[in-house]
Amino acid sequence: KAGVTQTPRYLIKTRGQQVTLSCSPISGHRSVSWYQQTPGQGLQFLFEYFSETQRNKGNFPGRFSGRQFSNSRSEMNVSTLELGDSALYLCASSLGEAPGETQYFGPGTRLLVL
């Protein structure tokens, strides 16, 4: 079974630009969660999507948004990029049927904001 895939793997943007990251979950998984990983803050939860609806949201500004499509693929968007948005963005998928299910992570998208 193919794992979670994320594209692109690397991105370089400048301040003020916007960026869209994509995540394809494991086949059959309906929940996709997004996390931001930085050296200082570690892994922090951004949001979770299930059946095309945002089910949970972390404590990030509104510049961070996401969506999920009918095939469970998900995208996240960051608008008006700031230097502090440089991070590894990880998505994780799970069946989504109950809290506490195992979440499987993709390889991440490394975003550098200059």
Partner 1 sequence: EDQVTQSPEALRLQEGESSSLNCSYTVSGLRGLFWYRQDPGKGPEFLFTLYSAGEEKEKERLKATLTKKESFLHITAPKPEDSATYLCAAVVYGNNRLAFGKGNQVVVIP
Q: Which CB atom, from 24 or from 80, has the smaller least distance to partner 1?
A: 24
Q: Which CB atom, from 12 or from 18, has the smaller least distance to partner 1?
A: 12
C-beta separation of 91 from 107 below 8 A: no
Rounded CA-CA distance 19/91 in Å is 15
Within 26-65, which residues bind partner 1 (CB under 8 A)? 31, 33, 35, 42-45, 48, 55-56, 58
Least distance CB 30 / partner 1 (angstroms): 11
Nearest to 21 by CA among 43, 3, 6: 6
Q: Which CB atom, from 15 or from 59, has the smaller least distance to partner 1?
A: 59
Rounded CA-CA distance 73/23 in Å is 6
